[in-house]
Chain A
Amino acid sequence: MEFIKNGKRIDDRLPNELRPVKFDVGVLKRADGSCYVEHGGNKVIAAVYGPRAVHPRHLQEANRAIIRYRYNMASFSVEERKRPGPDRRSIEISKVSREAIDPMIIKEFYPRSTIDIFVEILQADAGTRSAGINAASVALADAGVPMRGLISSCAVGKVDDTVVLDLVKEEDNYGQADMPIAMDVRTGEVTLLQMDGHLTLEEFEQALELGKTGCASIAEMQREALIQKYRGEENE
């Protein structure tokens, strides 16, 4: 399969170009904070509840809040029906996503409580964990949770021996490498970095730099979406 023709990718993007991204803040009435994200073909919704009382009680911590993150794919989110419920993959993604966001939250403000994050993948097209983290981060801010900053995430990878930003499904499935990154853009602190496939050291460094520019663009969109929620209402 040929991925790059005349410098353009299969969906007509440049190697360093993100797919179109759209954030919608506060879409769920009953959640304390929520966010809907469309990232290319991905459609993701995140809901945040809390801080609230911990059930079951034995999970609670005396001096801080606990963070629970559930990544879940809808059975209709992929072409072949996905068997509903947590599987090995989604349990892992839930763990790494929680660890990507956890260090930003000031948990000591809320002893004996929990902050629950639910991420539902409605439609998947590569990079769902990144889209989920981006949505969760905005939903947390929307819920009024104190954080040191927003976490922004995107994937980089390699197709046709070229390092590219934000892979689509075909590039992910048949390409040479896929590397999701999540970071706090302000401090440059990387909180998630996984890799599937092979990159040389030079390619890795090039990919990391490209990923950082992608995260920076995402961060700006997250910020804009949050500001727009209130500005939009004011101009009614």
Chain B
Amino acid sequence: MRKIEKVDKTIVVPGDLLSDDVSKAAEGTYTEDGKVYSLIYGLADDRERIRVIPLSGKYIPIVGDVVIGMVSDISFSNWKVNINSPYEALMHISEYPRRIESSEMAKIMRVGDLAIFKVVDVDQSMKIELAPREGQLRVLRSGRVVDVSYTKVPRVIGRAGSMISLLKDKLDVNIFVGKNGRIWINGKAADEELAVKVIKQIEKEAHTSGLTDRITKVLEEEKHGVH
């Protein structure tokens, strides 16, 4: 295997000693008796602060996250939305940009519809409130959505969006990546299919190095094969 950028991260398991410097402890760690230990199974990253990047796990929403949700139910004044998390989220009728009646809710989003939301509130008991992103509700009526683990989202996006740019560059598709690991792809059917395939490969090989180069190669080979 070619090694372009050597990943200097080591795999750690819960309870592994990471450091003696408590002040540098960040997410995925805990401190005990002046020492930092790993809280999860993942990749230890000690470039700045000491943190552990998860390799698996469930998406837990944070205020400000932009996610792709699927309407699972409509109640009197809320859309119930599945956001690929242990917790159901709600979007209240009043969050819709225009004043609407309860009876009109199904016209805007029906059960099974996918849309892009912003997480606006998460309380102590994990009650999650959503709103349309940037005041405009975007219901996804075309294209397709694939689910990947939320832990792989940074890899799908790439450093400063490099992976996404690559995909958009090589394929004639529009891609939107939700923080919860749902990815919307919209374009020509053949390109969409290839995008799904490549994203699945990124997910599977997320922890390896030199991934961008391999993906570039795959995209080029596939493109020439298809045409």
Interface residues of chain A, those whose CB is within 8 Å of chain B, are: 32-33, 50-53, 62-63, 104, 106, 109-113, 141-150, 184, 186, 222-223, 226-227, 230-231, 233-236
A186 vs B124: C-alpha distance when bound (angstroms): 32
B199 CB, nearest partner CB in chain A, Å: 18
A109 CB, nearest partner CB in chain B, Å: 8
Q: Point out the residues of chain A lying under 8 angstroms from B30, CB to CB.
A: 106, 148
Q: Point out the residues of chain B lying under 8 angstroms from A235, CB to CB.
A: 1
In the complex formed, the residue of A with least CB distance to B57 is A144
Q: Point out the residues of chain B lying under 8 angstroms from A143, CB to CB.
A: 56-57
In the complex formed, the residue of A with least CB distance to B123 is A111
Residue from B1, B16, B125, B126 with most neighbouring chain A CB atoms (10 Å): B126
Q: Point out the residues of chain A lying under 8 angstroms from B124, CB to CB.
A: 63, 111
Q: Point out the residues of chain B lying under 8 angstroms from A142, CB to CB.
A: 41, 56
A189 CB, nearest partner CB in chain B, Å: 11
A184 vs B40: C-alpha distance when bound (angstroms): 15
In the complex formed, the residue of B with least CB distance to A146 is B39
A236 vs B207: C-alpha distance when bound (angstroms): 13
B residues 124-142 touching A (CB-CB < 8 Å)? 124-126
Q: Are A141 and B54 in contact (CB under 8 A)?
A: no
Q: Point out the residues of chain A lying under 8 angstroms from B28, CB to CB.
A: 146
In the complex formed, the residue of B with least CB distance to A53 is B86
Interface residues of chain B, those whose CB is within 8 Å of chain A, are: 1, 11, 13-16, 28, 30, 32, 37, 39-42, 54-58, 60, 86-88, 124-126, 151, 205, 207-208
A63 vs B123: C-alpha distance when bound (angstroms): 11
B15 CB, nearest partner CB in chain A, Å: 3
A111 vs B123: C-alpha distance when bound (angstroms): 11
Q: Point out the residues of chain B lying under 8 angstroms from A113, CB to CB.
A: 86-87, 126
State whether A149 and B41 are in contact (beta carbons under 8 Å apart), knowing that A111-B124, A111-B125, A144-B151 are contacts in the complex.
no
Q: Are B207 and A234 in contact (CB under 8 A)?
A: yes
In the complex formed, the residue of A with least CB distance to B7 is A234
A34 vs B88: C-alpha distance when bound (angstroms): 25
Q: Point out the residues of chain A lying under 8 angstroms from B15, CB to CB.
A: 147-150, 184, 186
Q: Point out the residues of chain B lying under 8 angstroms from A230, CB to CB.
A: 11, 55, 207
Beyond contacts A53-B86, A146-B14, A233-B207: 17 other A-B pairs, Cβ-Cβ < 8 A, are A33-B56, A51-B58, A53-B88, A109-B60, A110-B126, A111-B125, A113-B126, A141-B41, A144-B40, A144-B42, A144-B54, A145-B40, A146-B28, A146-B39, A148-B32, A149-B15, A186-B15
